[in-house]
Amino acid sequence: MTDNYTRFVSRGFGKDLAQRLGLPQPVILRRHRPDAPLVDGPVLVQGSTRGADELAAALLAWNLDVRRHAVPKEKLCAIILVLDELAHPDDLAEPVLTAAGSLRDLAPNARFISVSRTAASAADPAAAAARQGVDGLLRSLAKELRAGATANGVLLGDDAETTSPSTLGALGFFLSGRSAFVDGQFLTVSSGGGRLPDDAAKPLAGKTAVVTGAARGIGAAIARTLYRDGATLIVVDVPAAGDHLAEVANEVRGTALQLDITRPDAGQRIIDHAVERHHGLDIMVHNAGITRDKLLANMDPGRWNSVLAVNIAAQLRINEALLASAHFRGSPRIVSVASTSGIAGNRGQTNYAASKGGVTGMVRATVPLMAAHGGTVNAVAPGFIETDMTARIPFATREVARRLNSLQQGGRPGDVAEAIAFLASDAAGGISGEVLRVCGQNLVGA
């Protein structure tokens, strides 16, 4: 759905009027285009550690215009602040305040990315304090940036380095237009696993992917994005959506499977279809979901049970079938669609929030089960996304909801799809158990 306000205040008279009246000034975001460069200008890599030097060298190999020191008034497309050797909160001042001196030089739609280590892997309280401090400062900075700029972080686990494949994969995602609606978020690289694609334009080439709830909206966008990235698609939805599902299947040159995912044999039917038509399965995207909103005091068993059945119980059963199958092997990927409602809650959505919170718990507990097969499992949690469903929200409520994030606008189905495509790729092989929010950094909740 078109956000006419954002278009109006992004240029000319509308921009001037918004400035004079002190109105929100969202800008048109830089989103991924297959023919566009990763970034279109200088990238400043700040930090005095060996990890910073190695990362700068790796980015130079990508033919990026890398700077190691700021040039006054030079417009920057990105600042990467490497903080991989923090031992005490006192260590934050010099690198952070040095980076602060370049913030006014960030171009519109620029990226600020921190690279640091997880607090959980710290050897002592002082190191843990410094590392956790990065979390607070990065999320706060994300709320200060304007003109479509975002701030996100990469957290290095025990076995990960600044140049590990999945570290570079996460950096590439955050630098690119794929992360346009991801702001104030972290991705943890838990190991040195992962592999950068041979063909950056087709990172999912040779993979077969299933997308549930694919007949329209976010599900259809996921299917289109995975297809663009080279995957072979199996699109799944209920029989009642068969016509729309067939249209999506034809568009992505895949196969359609009409299926109620709450059926006890849904997982086996997906596997059988994948083996019969495509000789196996590599990526499972759990997108199907429903809402049946009601205040808890007025909640009835039908509303509660139907939401839990579709949104979490079906995923659990399908995953059990996949993990037991010999046809879901060789670095498989599971990506589930959660929701910011399952993180921060939402009035009238206790059933929905319980189901989406359940997705987060399922993902984290499935990590060792997937690791046994060399695979990963992650989730993406959308915030306010412009869909047919949000278009039915009353105008005033919709406008308020659009502005309640740091980017002051709603996201697009494609923004969710881009995050899922990255997590499904080999470049994310060292990332598992994460819940990546695609919400423009909601101003309420975590």
Catalytic residues: 352
Rounded Cα gap, residues 308 and 206, in angstroms: 34
Q: How far is CA 132 from CA 119, 120, 128, 142, in A?
A: 6, 9, 6, 16
Q: Which of 232, 445, 423, 198 is nearest to 332 (CA)?
A: 423
Strands 43-46 and 66-67: parallel
Return the bridge partners of 112, or none: 79, 151
Distance CA 141, CA 112 (A): 9
